A and B are shown apart, each in its own frame.
Chain A
Amino acid sequence: MSPEADKRNWVGKSLPRKEENRLLRGRGKFSDDIKLREMLYLRFIRSPYAHAKIVGIDVSGAEALPGVVYALTGTEVAQETQPFIEIGPDPFAKIKDYPLAVSKVRYQGEPLAAVVAESPALADDAAELVQVEYDPLDPVVDAENALTNKSILHEEAGTNLVWNGIFEYGDIEKAFRDAAYVVKVDHLHFHRFSSTPLENNVVIAQWNRKDERIYYQCNNSFPSFAIQFLAAHLGVHIDRIRVETSDIGGSFGIKITSYPQMAVCALASKKAGGRPVKWVETRSEHITSSAHGNERTFRDTRVALDKNGVITAIASRHIDDCGAYPRYEPLGCVIWSQVFPGVYRFKNARIDFSQAVTNKCPVGPNRGYSRMQHLWFLERVVDICAHELDIPADEMRLRNYIRPDEFPYTTPNGCVYDSGNYPKMLQLAKDLIGWDDWKKKQVTAREQGRLIGIGIGTTLDSGTNNFGQSQIVNPFLPYSGNSQGANCKLDIYGEVVVAVGSCPQGQGHETTAAQVVADVLNIHPDLITVRTGFDTERNVHTGFSGTYASQFAVSGLSAVHGAAQKLKAEMKRLAAFVLKTKEDDLEFGTGAQGPEIRAKGTGKSINYWGLANLVNANSAALPPELYELTLNCRYIWRAPFKVPDTKKKYGSLTLTYAAQLHMAVVEVDCDTYIPRILDYVAVDDCGTVINPPIVEGQVYGATAHGIGAALMENCVYDAVGNMLTSTFSDYIPITAVSMPNVKYGHIETPSPHSYSGAKGMGEGGAAPIHTISAALQDALFASGIIIDDSFNNADSLFRALTAKEISQADKLVKVEKRV
């Protein structure tokens, strides 16, 4: 908790977003809005093949085109740079990952050359003139097949297995021996999908030959991570890279992994003598080649349950598909274990987790990164067991949920769930949707031959990572804990200016940071300027700064709060000197001349301009004992983590655990097989809410993302690695037209792990996937169908129900009854 508790005038208020004035009027500044003198434009040449040797590249036709400055190939990049550093251990640490393919391509859409021209249109034309000769190789598009190593993607590694680890806790054998029921599920599959930000990736790079520094203006959403990769790759000191972000039109994590494109733009600028180079990603490039979410297959699952349907153990084998290059991986191989038991109380578990490369687009963090796959798996397991044992879905949850009185709850792998009340969320969702009424309607509908199901999905949004978990995948990595920086100052005219190390993409950081500082200084948030966007030159970032992993409300605002507290302490010392009173006799407020500090009972006050003036412009009036005051306060917030036990894979991996409980009523049309949502509820608990409309907006956004993923968005590859859904004609993002009316509810279980009680939120995008799978299961269980895939559309439901090609219960699930 803070040394001085704030009076909460603004935190918790439904304050309109400060950002809206500029963003809704079209006055935002996005990377593509930036035009620089002598700017050049870059276009990538991408592979049509998923797996092929590059026999030759002929760029002469492109370079002969008037207005084309030059072309860059992978060979040239390899001569000038080092391969990107790998997060994983050997043998994958040996692979050579360059931003342009050198001797072979490993996924369709992989860039292997780039052309740079005086205009975007010329660059497009020139790209068409680059001739590439390929020698196709056998592609591997399935992670389980990849593990047979019949066709190797990275010869340096000699295997397609990126990482394998066994996560085992409790006494599995005893749990299965003592079980009243054992439910076996042959396989489940979580599909590959991505995010659809309004703004695609944009990079402007300038390798300035005067100071040999690289200047980036871009929309990368984790710049402090990107510059670590870029510095090593480009062979420059990290301080020579400046990254600025401005407004960002959505990321959802996908923009974390744009550093390869950032590298190419910098090299292109260097080759152009320092002229700035801009790359603006097309939508098809984004869909095929930016990053996808992790695809995962769950094999040979066994679930032990007692006679009451309480799960006592789960054993399973998980195979994750990370696409052609690990890049941010294999972090996903441990990040899922932040939510190891989900919202459930079972103590015994064994998960054999493997990750493989395939000839598909590399994955990257995607809203709910790595955890949503695992949480979907757990929800499917719970739901299938409920149906098989004929236990009502709500009752099954209540029997297995972690109970409210068990918080803080330590999971079998040592994570500490800070707070929560899942039964209360379930009851609220049931009340909002009208559970009993829908149950009655469902009976009537079934009598009429209609297929209606009611589904429950409970998910967790673990926020503020302990980066020490990276040592579980690679003990040699130098990361642990988590930290965020912020700066709070009175500038020369007394304006309160806050700078943070985040790069918001619509999450309202400008507003919530102002609310926090407003409470510390007891002034209106409109009197506070928050510098938005990341900028290495502001010196407020740490190695973990950016916007990702549901952490700003905890790490970002804690840093802001700490910096504001430091500033307040300095202001009090200064005011006490000026007003000739004790610090305890001062009060903060707003007077006729703006924000001020008053000496209680004296009528004396000094406004912020006066205070700032003393330090910055009228310093002769300042006594030497106050020379140390700067009114420019930097604060680094550090999460109270320890390095996990890497051998036992045990430790606190995340600081806060927000929860989402969704409920849906879904009908499968008996003629067209189209699934339709008839009713939908989203209940959220992210602890203390800083700004209710911002939270509610993110819940709606995450719900839309998840509904789209469950029913519409699927990255489909054919057998040779062609991505068949590379445009919005086939990869259909959800829009308002497809959204049901969402009934929103929330509870607050304040976190004891954050100064404000808030938990990170915004990544509950998986809840609809769990929920819709469960609703479809409820609708179709009587038809002998097991929902074994996270993506379900009319085609797959037809194949299950009528063609009986997939999802047949008798082939997927076996129940052993011992009672």
Chain B
Amino acid sequence: MAIKFGGEFEVKRTPEEVYDFLTDPKKFAPLLPDFQSMTVQDATHFKVKVNVGISYIKGAADVRMELTEADRPKRAQYKGNGRVSGGNVSLTAGFDLSPSDSGTKVAWQGEAQVFGGLASVAGGLLEPLGQKNLQKLIDGLQTALQ
């Protein structure tokens, strides 16, 4: 069950500034919805713990994140895998940066995949929930980069 998202927004920062923000786990990770804590392993790997609530399935998800593409100041992509009660999740989130009149245009693409019983139990709720949480992330990014 793959859920795909995408969109774009503009911020009044240079592509280099945006790129540096996105690729710094300490700045990026706290913007993840319902962020609890994080552990940085190295420059491209970190673990985050986020709260998850899907209908009556509530708990915390441990997600291993990896910065898989880093092309300063054009593109950054994260891949993550995590475990949540009732299943596993994997996600990718990519950001393509290009200069714009006001600063930088950020074109983003995301894909979340759910594995396990969670897909069956909460399948119908995942898409709207994912949409909501990704919007939170993007809103947070925009705010932080303004």
Contacts and interface: CB of A to CB of B under 8 A. Distances in A.
Contacts of B83: 131
A810 interface: no
Given A48-B88, A128-B85, A136-B90, A722 B121 contact: no
Q: Of residues B1, B88, B119, which shows the largest number of chain A Cβ atoms within 10 Å of its Cβ?
A: B119
A288 interface: yes
Contacts of A288: 117
A730 interface: yes
B119 A718 contact: yes
Given A49-B88, A128-B85, A720 B120 contact: no
B14 interface: no
Contact of A722 (B81, B85, B90, B120): B120
Contacts of A338: none
A134 interface: yes
Interface stretch (B5-13, B19-27, B33-41, B108-116): B108-116
B1 A718 contact: yes
Contact of A108 (B85, B115, B121): B115
Contacts of B2: 719-720
A476 B2 CA distance: 45
Nearest to B120: A726
B120 A724 contact: yes
A713 to B, nearest CB: 15
Contacts of A136: 90, 115
B62 to A, nearest CB: 9
A455 to B, nearest CB: 32
B115 A49 contact: yes
B84 to A, nearest CB: 9
A228 interface: no
Nearest to A731: B120
Interface in A265-285: 284
B53 interface: no
Nearest to A722: B119
A75 interface: no
A726 B87 CA distance: 13
A727 B115 contact: no
Contacts of B115: 48-50, 108, 136, 720, 722
Contact of A723 (B81, B88, B114, B120): B120
The bracket for how many chain B residues form the interface is 10 to 19
B93 to A, nearest CB: 17
Given A49-B115, A288-B117, A726-B117, A720 B1 contact: yes
Contacts of A480: none
Interface string B108-142: 00000111111111010000000000000000000
B117 A720 contact: no
Interface string A709-748: 0000000001110111111011000000000000000000
A49 B81 CA distance: 12
B121 A726 contact: yes
Given A720-B1, A720-B2, A720-B113, A134 B119 contact: no
A722 B88 contact: no
A725 B1 contact: no
Q: Of residues A128, A718, A722, A723, which shows the largest number of chain B Cβ atoms within 10 Å of its Cβ?
A: A722
Nearest to B117: A726
B120 A727 contact: yes
A797 B6 CA distance: 33
Contacts of A726: 117, 120-121
A724 B120 CA distance: 4
Contacts of B121: 726-727, 729
A10 B121 CA distance: 51
Given A128-B85, A134-B88, A724-B123, A284 B1 contact: no
Contact of B116 (A108, A128, A131, A719): A108
Nearest to A721: B115
Contacts of A108: 115-116
Contacts of A49: 88, 115-116
Interface string B100-113: 00000000000001
A284 B1 CA distance: 19
A284 to B, nearest CB: 6
Given A48-B88, A49-B88, A724 B117 contact: no
B130 to A, nearest CB: 15
Interface in B77-95: 81, 83, 85, 87-88, 90
Nearest to B123: A724
Contacts of A729: 121
Contacts of A724: 1, 119-120, 123
Contacts of A47: 116
A726 B86 CA distance: 12
A131 B62 CA distance: 11
Contacts of A727: 120-121
Interface in A284-314: 284, 288
Contacts of A725: 120
Contact of B117 (A128, A134, A284): A284
B1 to A, nearest CB: 5
B145 to A, nearest CB: 33
A221 to B, nearest CB: 26
A11 B67 CA distance: 76
Contacts of B88: 48-49, 134
B69 to A, nearest CB: 19
Contacts of B81: 134
Interface string A30-74: 000000000000000001111000000000000000000000000
A718 B81 CA distance: 19
Contacts of B87: 48
A48 B117 contact: yes
Q: Of residues B2, B117, B118, B120, which shows the largest number of chain A Cβ atoms within 10 Å of its Cβ?
A: B120
Interface in A212-254: none
Contacts of B123: 724
A134 B83 CA distance: 10
Nearest to A726: B120
Nearest to A284: B117
Nearest to A131: B83
Contacts of B113: 720
A460 to B, nearest CB: 35
Contacts of A284: 117
Contacts of B119: 718, 722, 724
Nearest to B116: A48
Nearest to B88: A48
Contacts of B114: 722
A724 B119 CA distance: 6
B120 A730 contact: yes
B111 to A, nearest CB: 12
A727 B123 CA distance: 12
Contacts of A48: 87-88, 115-118
A128 B119 CA distance: 18
Contacts of A718: 1, 119
Contacts of A722: 1, 114-116, 119-120
Nearest to B59: A128
Q: Of residues A48, A128, A284, A725, which shows the largest number of chain B Cβ atoms within 10 Å of its Cβ?
A: A48
In the complex, the 3 A-B pairs of residues with the closest C-beta atoms, listed nearest first: A48-B116, A722-B119, A726-B120
Given A724-B119, A724-B120, A726-B120, 15 more contacts: A48-B87, A48-B117, A134-B88, A284-B117, A719-B1, A719-B2, A720-B2, A720-B113, A722-B1, A722-B114, A722-B116, A722-B120, A724-B1, A724-B123, A727-B121
11 contacts: A47-B116, A49-B88, A134-B81, A136-B115, A718-B1, A718-B119, A722-B1, A722-B115, A724-B119, A724-B120, A727-B120
